Amino acid sequence: MAKGRTNRGSTASNTIAFQGEAGANSDMACRSARPYMTTLPCPTFETAMAAVQAGKAELAMIPVENSIAGRVADLHSLLPHTKLKIVAEHFQRVEHCLVALPGATLKSIKTVKSHVQALSQCRNFLKRHRYTPLVHGDTAGAAREIAEDGDKSVGAIASSLAARIYDLKVLARNIEDADHNTTRMLVFSRDEAPVEWRTVDCMTAFLFRVKSVPAALYKALGGFATNGINIVKLESYLSGAHFEQAQFYAEVEGHPAQRSLKLALEELGFFSEEFKPLGTFPAHPFRRKGWEAPTRPGT
């Protein structure tokens, strides 16, 4: 039987939802960022966010980008429709482990199951040991499956948390090819979180769609340049039957209460047809490291 954090006495006010099975990397991220909360596994990003909207959880933590795999596209289709607000960000170092049944060894393993991204991120390790990769829908789900099947020739790439939950043995740690494998997560809530912008570095996220006229995007973004606002993230998404208009997701430094950002957003409004604020939240300390990934434990 899987061992994990007990739900005894848990309430929506101390519950944080994530996509995946118990022991997934998102589960580890939730426990790292909110160690006092109970984690709630959900099958999809949509159901994790819906759990917050329905009052079944206080927060939802959703991955948005990985330093190797790039952006997580699924979330952006949900942002235009959600009523939730972004209240925090978290950077999680991804540490892949080879896990297997007790009694299994590196030599006894022949096949390794995991999510396709985890398999690709550990390609050198798999090749070196001549393991046959087998794609599974979820890293923690692969760990649970080998625990249930009882085949000592099959391992899984999963987290050390998954190994602990499903009574598995960690045969090798940090088997990923790149030591900067880091995932950025956003935390969603029903209510906006107040941020003391005078003393805390802030990030502001929003969606907008520019008018379909020449140089509309150039003009819309001009206010950020003239007011000294740094645009940290800007991504476009084509929508509509004819793909003629792009929607943009943006993150900028600053708080809307600051005069410079307020002026920039006002100028954006002159050249955009739609604008949706998604939240203002504290910038994570990881940003001050210049996007250098944390070192591995023990290094």
**pLDDT tens-digit profile of 192-226?**
988 998 899 999 999 999 877 888 899 999 999 99
Q: What is the CATH number of the domain that holds 240?
A: 3.30.70.260
pLDDT tens-digit series, residues 106-127:
999 999 999 998 999 999 999 9
Confidence (pTM): 0.88
Sequential DSSP letters for 209-235:
EE-SSTTHHHHHHHHHHHTT--EEEEE
In a domain, 297, yes or no: no
Residues 210 and 243 in one domain: yes
Structural domain includes residue 166: yes
pLDDT at 294: 41
Looking at 30-34, 39-43, 102-106, 238-242, which range is the least confident one? 238-242
- For tokens 């107040």, the residue is 194
Residue 195 inside a domain? The answer is no
Domain count, the chain: 3
Same domain, residue pair 263 and 152: no
> Does 290 fall in a domain?
no
* Whether the Cβ atoms of residue 156 and residue 112 lie closer than 8 Å to each other: yes
List beta partners, residue 247: 209, 237
Residue 4: inside a domain: no
Strand 38-42, strand 15-19: pairing: parallel
Q: Is 185 exposed, middle or buried (0-12, 13-18, 19+ CB in 10 A)?
A: buried
Residues 83 and 21 in one domain: yes
40 with 24, same domain: the answer is: yes
The answer to the question of residue 2 being in a domain is no
Question: In which band, very low, low, confident or very high, does the pLDDT at 292 lie, cut at 50, 70 and 90?
Answer: very low
Q: Identify the pLDDT of residue 187.
A: 98
Q: Which two tokens stand for residue 292?
A: 């250098």
CATH number of the domain at 133, please.
3.40.190.10
Segments forming the whole domain that contains residue 158? 97-172
Distance, CA of 133 to CA of 212 (rounded, Å): 47
Q: Tokens in use for 118? A: 């985890």
Whether residues 217 and 233 share a domain: the answer is yes
**Residues 6 or more apart whose Cβ sits within 8 Å of residue 288:** none
Kind and range of the H or E run holding 155: strand 154-158
| Residue at 83 is within a domain | yes
- Quick one: 185 and 39 in the same domain? yes
Tokens 């109970």 belong to residue:
38
Look at residue 117 and tell me if it is in a domain: yes
Read off the amino acid at residue 129: H
One-character DSSP codes across 104-138: --TTT--EEEE-HHHHHHTHHHHHHHTPEEEE-S-
